[in-house]
Structure 1
Amino acid sequence: MNRRVARLRAAQALYQMDLTNSDIESAIESVLDDNEEQSEFFKQLIFGTTEKIEKIDETISANLKGWTISRMGHVDRAIIRMAMFEMLEVEDIPVNVTFNEAIELAKAFGGEEAGRFVNGVLSKSIETLNLDRKRN
């Protein structure tokens, strides 16, 4: 499982967990294809995002204008949470790579409008946290 597929599957699992309150193992099982192996990166995204969810949500909430995190769509919220975890905690991946991958995922699931929304929230978060200067 390459990183792009890992991000896709992790976003799907996080979405399912958020929408249905399912546990991590059930969500993972439901998003993997038959005989698809979990990569370490995939597990890191899911477990890391869920472990740091409060810190991530605080960061996201601080960078929303006219929105609350609960008002966001489930897919957008899952993608933004996962991207924030990756940008804050996964040091071997440049922030701009994570940023671009999150926008592409959002577009794939929700179209151009979702891509613009994810872009706006992540851009503001990157600026606020000075992430663009820390790891590029």
Structure 2
Amino acid sequence: MNRRWARIRAVQALYQVEMTGIEWKLALQSSLDDEEEADDYLYDVIPGVLEVQQAIDAQIAEQLEHWTLERVGNVDRAVMRLAVYEMQHREDIPVNVALNEAINTAKAFGGNEAGKFVNGVLSNLRNEQKWGAKSEYDSGDH
């Protein structure tokens, strides 16, 4: 499974956990197609997001103007939670890649307006936290 599909499956599982309270491994299994198998990425990010969700939610909430986190769509919340987790906890994923993938995932689920909303929130958070201030090309690890 490529990383883009894995992100979509992670968002679906995180959404199910939030909406139904189902255990994350069951949510993951129900989000996979019959021929798909979960990879290490999914076994890291889904429980990882859930473990630090309160801290992630607080960071997202700080960036919302005239909104509350509860008012944000459930899918957009799941997309942003995954992106913030990747930005903070996955050193193998450049910050800008996590941001761009979140925008694309939000667009896939909710259209261009969802992509713009997610972009605004996550870009503000990235700039505030100074994540990705150094490009992955600056490290010499091309």
Query: TM-score scaled by structure 2?
Result: 0.91
* Identity among equivalent pairs (%): 50
Partner amino acid, structure 2, of 1:127 = N
Q: Deviations over 1:57-106 (max 9, x none)?
A: 11111111111111110000000000000001001111111111100000
Shift of 1:35: 3.3
CA distance in structure 1 between the aligned counterparts of 2:135 and 2:43, rounded to whole angstroms: 22
CA distance in structure 2 between the aligned counterparts of 1:82 and 1:51, rounded to whole angstroms: 12
The aligned counterpart of 1:95 is: 95
Q: Which has the larger radius of gyration?
A: 2
The aligned counterpart of 2:51 is: 51
State the 4+ residue runs in structure 1 displaced beyond 2 angstroms: none
Shift of 1:135: 6.2
Structure 1 contact 4–101 (Cα < 8 Å) conserved: yes
User: Cα RMSD over matched residues?
Assistant: 1.1
Asked whether 1:120 is paired with 2:142, we answer no
Indicate the structure whose relative CO is greater, using CA pairs within 8 Å and at least 6 residues apart.
Answer: 1
Query: TM-score scaled by structure 1?
Result: 0.95
CA distance in structure 2 between the aligned counterparts of 1:13 and 1:131, rounded to whole angstroms: 26
Structure 1 contact 91–135 (Cα < 8 Å) conserved: no
Structure 1 contact 95–131 (Cα < 8 Å) conserved: yes
Partner amino acid, structure 2, of 1:2 = N
The aligned counterpart of 1:18 is: 18
CA distance in structure 1 between the aligned counterparts of 2:85 and 2:134, rounded to whole angstroms: 15
Asked whether 1:65 is paired with 2:78, we answer no
